[in-house]
Every structure is written in C-alpha cells, then in structure tokens.
Amino acid sequence: MSDVAGGIPPILVGTWTYRSFLSNPDVNTDFDSLEFGRGNIRIDPGPMQIFSGLIYGPGWELKLKGSIAYGNPFNVRFQGVGIVGGAQWIYDYQGYLIPDWPNGIDQRPALVGSIVRTIPHPTGPNGKSTAPAGVVAQWIAVKQDDNV
C-alpha cells in the first residue's frame, strides 16, 4: 500500500469520483433508475486514523469527518453533514479500499461501501416530498488524481 508514517495513507488522500446505487435486487431494473447519488469525495491529509474532507456536487456539499482503520484492506467510516437547500442533511458511510489485482490493467484505487441516510430531509421543488431516514445504498469511488 503506502507509507502511513505521520498521517493517513497517501493513497487515500485526494479527490475521488463518487457514485451510489439503490439496493434493488431485481436484475431487470434499468441501471439509470438505481442512482442514489453522485459527486466527488475529497479526502484531506491529516493525522493517523482521522478521516476528514468533503463530499460535493453541483449545488450541494457535506463536510466529512470520521476514522480510518488500518489493515488489508483499509476501512473508512465517516459522516457527511451539511445544509442543502436550507435543510440539514446527514449521511453515514462505511467503506473499504479495494486491494490491487496482481495482473490488473488500467487499475485505479477504488473504495466501495454502504451509505445510510441518517435523518430525513426535504427533496424536490419547495421541499414538497421527503427523503426518508434509513434508506441504504451502496457506493463506489474511483481516485481521480494522476499521482495514484
């Protein structure tokens, strides 16, 4: 992996492309209808075991804080909190750094995990509908940085 002396593993630091998908087991479901969210995750450098950063997209952002458990694979657990469209959003994330395949081609660092909406929040025009708490989805993130 990477040297972890003095802070979080360098392989984790940087910007990641994020996508999340609803947990629908029907293989015939149209792929586009499974989208739960998309954006970028920025993981900031910091002291050992401390996860901090930002998840964001057009018109929204959540501050991230949490922890990193060392091992093979690295485990990240963090919470995203922010005000979006005047409403509080809180999501909890659990994820794992995927180990490299020995014969992988065009492989990039990837994180995979699960997300839960921690509190409900309004959604849609003028907050007319509600995104309920407790909804679980799966997420992936692929590192964008060239120095991977």
| Segments forming the whole domain that contains residue 28 | 14-143
Q: Per the domain annotation, does 1 fall within a domain?
A: no
Spans in the chain with pLDDT lower than 70: 1-6, 124-128, 146-148
State the total domains in the chain: 1
CATH number of the domain that 130 lies in? 2.40.128
Distance CA 94, CA 100 (A): 20
| Residue 53 placed within a domain | yes
Evaluate whether 88 touches 121 at the Cβ level (below 8 Å): yes
Q: Is 5 domain-assigned?
A: no
Identify residue 96 by its one-letter amino acid code: Y
Tens digit of each residue's pLDDT (9 = 90 or more) over 5-41: 468 899 999 999 999 999 999 999 999 999 999 999 9
Tell whether 45 is covered by a domain: yes
Look up residue 13 and give its two tokens: 């630091």
Structural domain includes residue 31: yes
CA separation for the pair 52, 54 (Å, rounded): 7
Residue 130 falls inside a structural domain: yes
